[in-house]
Structures are given as structure tokens and as C-alpha cells.
Amino acid sequence: MRFAGPRPISLRSRLAILFAAGSAMTLLLTALLLWHNLNAELNSAIDTGLEGRADDIVAVYRARGQAVPEQDAFAQVVASTGRILASSPTVRGRRLLGAQELRRARAGRITIDRAVPGLGTDARLLAVPERTGAATAVVVVGTSLETVRRAQDRLALILVVVGPTLITVLAVGGWLLAHEALRPVGRMTAEADTISLAEPGRRLRQPPGDDEIARLGRTLNTMLGRMEASFAREKAFVDDASHELRTPISILRGELELALAQPGSREDTERTLRSALEEAERLGRLAEDLLVLARSTSGDLPLRRDRVDAYAVAERMAQRLAAAGPPEVEIEGDHAAVDADLLRLEQVMTNLLTNARRFALNRVWVTIGCSGRAVEIVVSDDGPGFAALLLPVVFDRFTRSDAARGRGAGGTGLGLAIVAALVRAHGGTVEAANGAPLGGAVVRVRLPRADP
């Protein structure tokens, strides 16, 4: 039996936890700093009070001898031998300093924190040496630290009680803030879940403002637009491919059915079979063209790059097409080497020349030359040129210019689309225009130049 794993924590909950953890760390650091500052201030105040009292006793000792001011409730003057010279009534008869502490006090001012009878278990003593001639006396004053401990305990209680409460309030506030901030994301998520291809043009409601959420909404709407356009192109591609395949298949089927229904003479049968073979060859070329386009779109088109003479390829392809009759193809330029797949470059050149010959009146002109790190191949003709409305989409699949350039039946509309796909697969560029040098259509291809 399979058990489902723990349910993932929502983003708003993670933000609330992160907010609470950050608040707890901040509160802890603040509490430590407050505790440290409070201790420092209280200890400084106690030390300042003890030093003031000791200075007063030293002044009285110098003026009167061994007296301790009556207002000082806990003070003692001890000789260097340990004999008590003067004491407050509360400590009379008791030595405040041990022998070791007295030896340290004779050497310099010391502070001692320990239990002191009369002050409690937590007290502080300040011992100050006073030299008068050859004799040395030690002035000792003390005070209880109970007030300091009580202040520390109250602060700790406040922090223990208020801290968790404050953290809880901040966590809830962080959760509510995250919930409010992410509400548009939840709305867009629910709305995006209902969008389908059956509703072209539908977009997510745009959150107001120009923050990250609003930019996310705009980005998602832009992505939906691109996806919609891509699906539309794919649908058009499938529709056009189906149409192109249906025609030769229908012809091929009709020819074969006719041959079976009316056997006729040997010549009639041979003519029927040749017509069927032509349609089969057309189907093969169309399938190959569709495969090239599909692989180029997915990035899976294999290329066997090598150093190829572009001029020689153009010349060879022109000679092959010359058997079909005029117009002739004129080639000028340099024997420039490109970094390309020979078979794919031949396919590019064949499609360019075929397209130009189909619409040329008398001339097709090919020029080849180097331009920086690229080789430029320009194929132009003296035909009517591309229609103005056709120029932006001339390299799209199944785009035909028969009506615009007015000469007989054209091809499948894949020739220039394959040229663009193959050129871009090589890292080159292709563009179409009308005009010079012959006044008709001009297709300009730039391919990477091969290293010398």
C-alpha cells in the first residue's frame, strides 16, 4: 500500500515561517543587546556610587584621621596589618576583607563580588588603598546587588512573556501580508487553469500597478499570446500539409484505379504508371521537405560541417537546372569557402535557383562574395518581384507567390521556408527584397565564412 508523502507547505506559509524566524532572530539579538546594556548601565551606576563613597571616606580620613562618615551605612578603614581603624555601625567588629584580598588591595584598587554578611549573598565591595606617609590604609565600601538582580529578573520575565507573543503576532501578520500579496497570483492560477485552445484571445486579468505581481501577469499574458500564435502556426502547418498531401495522393489513387479498371494497351499502362511515379516522387519530396522543417524547428537537424566552395556549389546546381530550359543562370563572384554541410548548402542553392527561375522573365543572376567573417550569396531575377504583402512572410511555410508574381503553377510553398531553416541552422541570416540589380526579387543569404 502506497502512502502519500507529506503535503508541501504553501508559499504564504513558508513566507510566514521565514518572517517569524527573522523576527525571532531580531528579537533575540535585541534582547541580548538590551540585557548587555542594562547590565553595563547598572554596574556602572553601582561602581560610580561606590567610588564616590570611597572618595568621600578618603577625604574625611585625610582631614580627621580614622573617622567614617555617619551617613555611610557600610564602610570600613583597615590598616595594612589588618587592624580595623574605623567602621560603620553595621560592620563594627567584623573584617570585610580577607588576608589575601587585603594584600591585593594594598597594591591597588580592587572590586570584589561575593556574599557579604550584612549585605546578603550577592554584594559588591570596593577596596581603595590610601597612603599617608609611611603608613598605608585600605578604605572598603560595599553595597548589595539585589536591586541589579531584581532588575535583570524583571527584564527576563518581560522578554519571556512578551517575546513569544510578539513573534506570534508578527508571524500572523506576515501570513496575512503574504496572503494579501499573493492573492492576485492565486486568482491568476485559477483563471489560467480554465483557459483552453477553444477560447482564442482570452487573457488573464491584469493586476493593477507595476510591481512584481503585475509584471508576472503581463509576462504570462505575453506567453499566452506566443503560445496561441505558435498553436495557430502549427494548426495552419498541419492543415496545409494535409492539403498538399491529399492532392498527389488523390491523383496517384485515381491513376492506379484507372489502370486497374481499364487495362488498355501497353503504352496507356506505361503512361499511367509514369504519371503515378511522378506523383509518388512528389510525395517523397514533400515528405522530405516537411521532415527538414520539423527537425529544424525542434533543433534536431543534423549538420556535417566542412569547408565548402559556395561558388562551385552554385555553379553545379545551375548546371543541373539548365537541362529544364531557360532562363539561364549567371554566376559571378569569388570562390569563397563557407563552413557548411555540403548537401544542405546544395539544397539551399537548388531552392533559391528554382524559385528565381520559376518567376524570372529572362535572367537569373547569382553573386558570391566575402563580407567580413561571412560569405554573402545574392540570388536575383528580372521577374515581377515579391508582392508587398508577401515580403514579411515570404519565408513562412506554404507561402506562395503565384498570384502576385503571375506565372503558372508554383511549388508547394516550402522552398524558401526550407532555405531560411537551413541557413539559420548554420548560424546565418537570410532576407528578401525587391529591386536592384535586375529589378525583380532579391534573396540575400549570409553564411559563416570558413577559417583559412
Give the per-residue pLDDT at 338. 93
Cell of 282: 512528389
- pLDDT at 11 > cutoff 80: no
CA distance 174 to 170: 6
Type of residue found at 54? A
Q: Cα torsion at 126, 131, 132, 135 (round to 10°)?
A: 100
CA distance 427 to 325: 34
* pLDDT band with cut points at 50, 70 and 90 for residue 248: low
The pLDDT mean for the chain works out to 79
Q: Look at the pTM and tell me if it is higher than 0.85.
A: no
Is domain 305-448 given the CATH code 3.30.565.10 in the classification? Answer: yes
Q: Which CATH architecture has domain 212-298?
A: Orthogonal Bundle (1.10)
How many percent of the chain have pLDDT more than 70?
82
Q: Tens digits of per-residue pLDDT, 99-152?
A: 888 888 888 888 888 888 888 888 888 888 887 766 778 888 888 888 888 888
DSSP class of residue 388 equals T
Q: Print burial letters for 199-233: b (CB count within 10 Å at least 16), e (below 16).
A: eeeebbeebeeeeebeeebeebbeebeeebeeeee
Q: Print burial letters for 255-285: b (CB count within 10 Å at least 16), e (below 16).
A: beeebeeeeeeeeeeeebeebbeebeebbee
Query: What does the domain layout of the chain look like in residue ranges?
Result: 13-150, 212-298, 305-448
Q: Are 381 and 364 in contact (CB under 8 A)?
A: yes
Phi-psi category of 395—alpha, beta or left, where left has phi over 0 and alpha has psi -120 to 50? alpha
Residue that is written with C-alpha cell 565591595 in the block: 125
Q: What is the CATH code of the structural domain delimited by 13-150?
A: 3.30.450.20
* pLDDT band with cut points at 50, 70 and 90 for residue 408: very low
Give the per-residue pLDDT at 251. 66
Q: Tens digits of per-residue pLDDT, 290-331?
A: 677 666 666 677 888 899 999 999 998 888 888 778 888 899
Q: Which of 377, 168, 190, 412 is nearest to 289 (CA)?
A: 412
Q: Are 140 and 96 in contact (CB under 8 A)?
A: yes
β-pairing verdict for 441-448 and 374-381: antiparallel
End-to-end CA distance of the chain: give it in Å, rounded.
67
Got the DSSP string for 328-345? EEEEEE---EEEEEHHHH
